[in-house]
Amino acid sequence: MADSFIDSATLAKSQESVRPDQPLTLSLSFRIQGSIRETFSQKNWERAYNKHDKGFIMKIEIDLKSGRRRIALIKLVRKAALFWTRNPKIPYRIWVSIVKDDTPFYPLTEEEAKSLLFDVNKVIELKGSDLNSGTHKLYTDIKVSWGKHAYTQANEIKSRSNDIELMRIATP
C-alpha cells in the first residue's frame, strides 16, 4: 500500500495586483491520497468501533509565505466520529459523521465521507496591507498530521503549493 501524500496542492489568486486598502482573496485546494484514504473505509470503521476507537482527528497547517516571510498561518481541524446508525438509507450498522469547518456532515456513501475528510478547498482572505510594496511570489507550505488508530499509524505529511506572482501597488 502506498504511503499517504498531499496531491495537487494549487494556490490561485483572485486578481493580479492589490492596493493596501483592498481585500485579497486566495484559494488553496489539495487532496490527501494514499494509504490513509484507502484504509478509511466502512469495514475498518466497524473494526475500530468494536475496539472503542470511535474518533479520528486530522490537523492541517497552512503556512502562506512570500519568500521566507510568513504572511498567514491557518490551522484547520477535520474530525470523523464513528457511530451506531439506524438510518434506513445506510446499509451498515456503524457509520461516520465528518466535522469540517465546525459543521457536521452525514455522508451517505463511503466516497462522500472520504471527500469531506480528505479534500481541502480553503479560501484565504487577506488585506493588501498584509503585503509590502512590490512583486511577491506567494506559496503555501502544508502540513497534515493524525494520530494512531486501529486502521492507521500516526503520520505527518508535508507538501508545498505552486508559486503565484502578485503585485502590491504602493499608494500615491
DSSP assignment string, 107-161: -SSHHHHHHHHHEEEEEEEEEGGGS-SEEEEEEEEEEEEE--BTTB--EEEEEE-
Residue 171: the pLDDT is 67
Residue 154: the pLDDT is 96
The x, y and z cell numbers of residue 153, run together, are 499509524
The C-alpha atoms of residue 85 and residue 59 are separated, in whole angstroms, by: 26
Long-range own/partner contacts, residues 109-113 (CB < 8 A, 24 or more apart): 110/41, 110/42, 113/40, 113/80
The C-alpha atoms of residue 148 and residue 155 are separated, in whole angstroms, by: 8
Q: Strand, coil or helix: what is 89?
A: coil
pTM (2 d.p.)? 0.92
Is a pLDDT exceeding 60 seen at residue 151?
yes
Q: How many other CB atoms are found less than 10 A from the CB of residue 21? A: 9
Confidence bin at 170 (pLDDT 50/70/90): confident
Q: How many other CB atoms are found less than 10 A from the CB of residue 4? A: 22
